[in-house]
Every structure is written in C-alpha cells, then in structure tokens.
Amino acid sequence: MNEGQRGFTLLEMVCAIALIAMIAALLLPYLPRQTSRVRLMAYALEAATLLRDDRNAAIVRRTNVATLVDASLRAIRSGASGKIIRIPADVRFDALLPESCHRRPALSSIDFFADGMSCGGAIALTRLDTTYEIRVNWLTGRADIVAR
C-alpha cells in the first residue's frame, strides 16, 4: 500500500460489521418490547373470538357459559374452553361489566345463555393513542370490536 492511499481493507470492514452484530445480538434481548398497534389489534381480535366461541358454546350446549374478565390480573378466561388471554402491562385494560345478571351478582364475568343472549359488557384495550373496545350486546350476545 502506498503512503498516499488511505482507507479500510475489506477484512477490516468485515471485522467491524461482525463486532457490531455480536454486540447487537447480546443487547437485543434486553431492549424493552412494547405492544405495537398491530399487536393491540390482535389482542382485541383474540378477545372477541374468545367471547364469540363462548357464546357459540352456550348455544350448542344449551347451557349458560360465563367468560371471566379480571382487569386486576389482566386476563380474560373462557368459560367453555378454559383458554386464557393475558394482556401485557403496557396496555391499559378496562372492563365495564354488569353488576348483576339474571338476579345474581356478575361483577367479573360476561354471561352467555342458551338462546344466544347475554348480560352484555365491554372490554377496552388502550395503548398510547389507540383504543379497541370489544362490546358484547346484551340482546344478541354478539361481540364486536370498535376502534376509538
């Protein structure tokens, strides 16, 4: 190499890139993972699907099915299958549930009946400026997602 030439060799560039890749591989698991808008919508779809499945199970089995909604534990539990959806800590989880359903306390559940009806309720999932609300209609038992 002449004294007048300056720059990096290919070997030096490859070594620098390899070193950066190794550092990134070590630090990547420690970076905080936040819920994206797409993942928030996926949680809303999953919750609505669970509610619809519980309604369908109530109709098919000809019995009442209660979906448990626990905002303090950040979980929604199917009364038909036992499946649990856990909502991450960076998502605000609000539930508006009836105090009673068919003259008995229902504070932490959305109940579905054999005729397809429900006592209704709503679950809101919020992250930053995005909110998805899963609303269960008391008359039809239908679960819909509304973006707010």
All domains of the chain in start order, with CATH: 37-147 (3.55.40.10)
Q: Encoding tokens for residue 147?
A: 């973006």
Q: What is the pTM of this model?
A: 0.77
Give the amino acid at 21. Answer: A
Nearest alpha-carbon partner for 87 in 57, 22, 42, 49? 42
Please state, in angstroms and rounded to a whole number, the distance separating the CA atoms of residues 55 and 136: 10
2 pLDDT tier (thresholds 50, 70, 90): low
Please state, in angstroms and rounded to a whole number, the distance separating the CA atoms of residues 58 and 101: 15
* Residue 137, phi then psi, degrees to nearest 5: -75, 130
Please state, in angstroms and rounded to a whole number, the distance separating the CA atoms of residues 87 and 44: 10
Report the Cα–Cα distance between both ends of the chain, in Å, rounded.
65
78 pLDDT tier (thresholds 50, 70, 90): very high
CB within 8 Å of 57: residues ≥ 6 apart? 65, 79, 80, 81, 112
Tell me the percentage of the chain whose pLDDT exceeds 70. Answer: 95
pLDDT at 135: 97
DSSP 61: H
